Structure formats: C-alpha cells, structure tokens
Chains A and B, each alone.
Chain A
Amino acid sequence: MKVVIPVDENGKTVCVAFARAPYFLVCDTQADQGELMENPAASAQGGAGIKAAQFVLDTGAEALITVRLGENSAQVLQEAAVRIYRSMDGDAEKNLDALKKGALSELTEFHAGFHGRA
C-alpha cells in the first residue's frame, strides 16, 4: 500500500503542516525505500490544501499520515477514500512502521485552514 507523509527539509522529520510542507515522502508498506517529492502546493497563493491533496491522489496513495489537516484537504481525500492517520511523535520511518503494525489512529478532527496566513 502506498502511503504519503509530509516531511521537513531534512526529508526525515514529519512536518507539522500538510499543505505547506516542503516535501512529501511517498513510500510503500511493502518496500524499503520511499521517494522524496517536492510539494507543488508549498508556495501556492491560495488553495494550497486542495492542491496538496490532489498531489496525494495523483500518487495513487491509499493513506496519508499527518500531524494535522485542513478541511479542504480532508474533503478531497475523504471523497477519494484515502485513509487519514494521525502522526505520532518521531520521524517518518517510525510512523510508517507504526502504520504497518496498525498502531496509528485515524485523524478525525480537521481545522478550518489558514487561508494564506501563518
């Protein structure tokens, strides 16, 4: 199963943001290595959540692991039946392991979005 995790510049730490994360780690529960891809929505003027969620859909991923998620992103992912998991403390690799073991819980609360402000 393909999984997407938003990560910081170092490519390892789970980024606190989803739509504005600098990179997405696109990994597979069956494979060892993941692919680090630039987030096309990182510097979008607006609608970053929608654009980032579209990116996730386009990777063919079935799951997203994230710290938090805005309501626009959530709508896109939910309509496409992508599972959304709450990230735990630790880096992306640790979170992927936790997902494989079924130790991650689903993220059910979504925020209203930052609308261009920090």
Chain B
Amino acid sequence: MRVAVLSGKGGIGKTFVSTNLAASTRGSVYVDCDVEEPNGRLFLPCESAASKEVCIALPTFDPQSCTGCRACVDFCQFNALAFIGKTPRLFREVCHSCGGCRLICAVHAVGEQSVSVGSVEVGVSHGVQVVTGEMNVGEASGVPVICAALAEALRLHSELTVIDCPPGSACTVTESISAADYCLVVAEPTVFGVHDLGMVLRLIQTVGKPCGVVINKCNGAFPATELLCREHGVPILARIPYQKELAACISAGRLAVEESEEIWRIFTALKERIGGAV
C-alpha cells in the first residue's frame, strides 16, 4: 500500500506524520519527495546511504549541420528555444526535456547532453528503508528528482510505502501523489490551514484518489476544518494532540512513536483505518 502524505500549507506536520507512520511498521519504505528541502533525514538518519545522481537531458545544437530552418524553435511547446544569428539558443530553465527538437530536426543537428539536477539517496534507519530525493540548489523544477526518488522507492518491496510530499498543491505535489493508492491529508485547526486544506482536497478530487484527513496540533474542536471535511465527504481518521512534549521531541529530532505510548496507539489505529479504506 502506498500512502502519500500531503498538506498544502507548510509546517502542518507532513514529515511528522509520514516519518512516524513509516516507523510504526517494520520494513516499511519512507520516501522524501520534498526535494527542495528534504527533512525526513532528521528523524530517520541513515548511517551509510548509497547516493545516485539524477540527470535530465538537454538539447545541444551543432552549428555546422544546422541549416537555420527553425523547425525546432517552432516546434517547442515551451518556447525554450530562440533563433539568434545562425543557431538556436536554449533557455535551460524553460526546457522540459521532451526531446521533441531532436526528433524534428531533419539534418540531425540536435544532440543531447546529460545534466545533473539532483540526487537520490537510499539507506536504512529505525527499521525503515529511507529514500531521499534532493534537488540541486537553483534548479527550476523538482519534478525530475521526485520521479527518480519514487522510482527508487517503488523498486523496494514493502507492505507500506509512505510518500512525504512537498508543501503546496502544484506540479511537485501532483507528481508525488501520482503513484499513491491513498492520500493522507494532514490538517491544522487554523484559518490558513483550512484554506490550504480546501486546495489540496480539490487537487485530490481532480486526480481521483481515495483520501482521509489527520488533524494535527489539536486542542479542541475547530468547526471550520470539520465542516470542510464533511462538505468534501472526507473522513477524519485521527486527531493528534497539541502537546509541548511532542514539540520537544520533534525539536530533538526524535520519533514520537518511540517515545509516547499515546502517539504509538494513534498511529497504529490510523494505519488500520487507512488499510481498511484501501
């Protein structure tokens, strides 16, 4: 079973929920798809991890063979090419590596170069197989690194794969949930939290995945969150209390399921409810 953990607004508790969910099942896989700043490693540090580079293909243009027909420039759906002087000029950040310009060139003047955009690290920690995607600083898109991290994670066999998604509800999140069987949305009982919960529930509805909500940092009822879940027909599977001890545990980089009986029970019950829904 592959469970994607997402939230929209940052700081709600995606990593808290996903690392603890993974840690509560021996042999599970945890994959950190927040490739701009992966932080699962703080709670699941790996002693020896194997790292692989993630590369994308970018076009190269041979000025000797180029006839200046501009078929490549006209073809590019992303407008990543401009024809200046005698050859096409690539705007790297706009290129989506589709390979179309290379295919369309009648005189084979378009070649390919491989460029590193990040890395994927695989290791073991607290009985969990940990896969971490990390994007190189300055890259325009985290999507290629997320794809590579997910590919690595899906190669590992496990009863439970937890996908720690990036914040937001755009391309990187859509890519991260693409392979999931179930979406676990972490919500926060605040006005900002409710706003982003709505955005994320709409995204999940659009891609058509089953989902459930976990309300984190709960210290009493928050009607707006409950109402929104009811409106979307989405079940609230668990409520995690807002406790100083939990915050201290997190600040120290420790897993709450290993320190608190109550949290262990909450996550065990949560896992069962998700399993029942898939």
Binding site for B on A (CB under 8 A): 41, 44-48, 50-51, 53-54, 57, 72, 75-76, 79-80
Which B74-115 residues have a C-beta within 8 angstroms of A?
A: 76-85, 89, 91, 94
A44 touches B84 (CB 8 A): no
Chain B binding surface SS class? loop
* Cα(A47)–Cα(B95), bound, Å: 9
A79 touches B84 (CB 8 A): yes
* Cα(A79)–Cα(B73), bound, Å: 17
Contact of A47 among B83, B84, B85, B94 (CB under 8 A): B94
Binding site for A on B (CB under 8 A): 73, 76-85, 89, 91, 94
A46 touches B91 (CB 8 A): no
Count of A-B residue pairs with CB < 8 Å: 40
B89 touches A79 (CB 8 A): yes
A47 touches B80 (CB 8 A): yes
Which residue on A lies nearest to B96, using beta carbons? A46
Contacts of A53 in B (CB 8 A): 82
B82 touches A76 (CB 8 A): yes
A51 touches B79 (CB 8 A): yes
Additional 11 contacts, C-beta under 8 A, given A51-B79, A54-B73: A45-B77, A45-B78, A46-B94, A47-B80, A47-B94, A53-B82, A54-B83, A57-B84, A79-B84, A79-B85, A80-B84
* Cα(A76)–Cα(B81), bound, Å: 10
B84 touches A72 (CB 8 A): no
Which residue on A lies nearest to B89, using beta carbons? A79
B78 touches A47 (CB 8 A): yes
Contacts of B79 in A (CB 8 A): 41, 44, 46-48, 50-51, 54
Contact of A46 among B78, B81, B82, B84 (CB under 8 A): B78
* Cα(A51)–Cα(B91), bound, Å: 11
B84 touches A50 (CB 8 A): no
Contacts of B85 in A (CB 8 A): 79-80
* Cα(A50)–Cα(B82), bound, Å: 7
B70 → chain A closest CB, angstroms: 9
Contact of B82 among A44, A45, A48, A54 (CB under 8 A): A54
* Cα(A51)–Cα(B82), bound, Å: 7
Q: Could you list 16 examples of A-B contacts with CB < 8 Å?
A: A46-B79, A47-B79, A47-B80, A47-B91, A47-B94, A48-B79, A50-B80, A50-B81, A51-B79, A53-B82, A54-B73, A54-B79, A54-B82, A57-B84, A72-B91, A76-B82
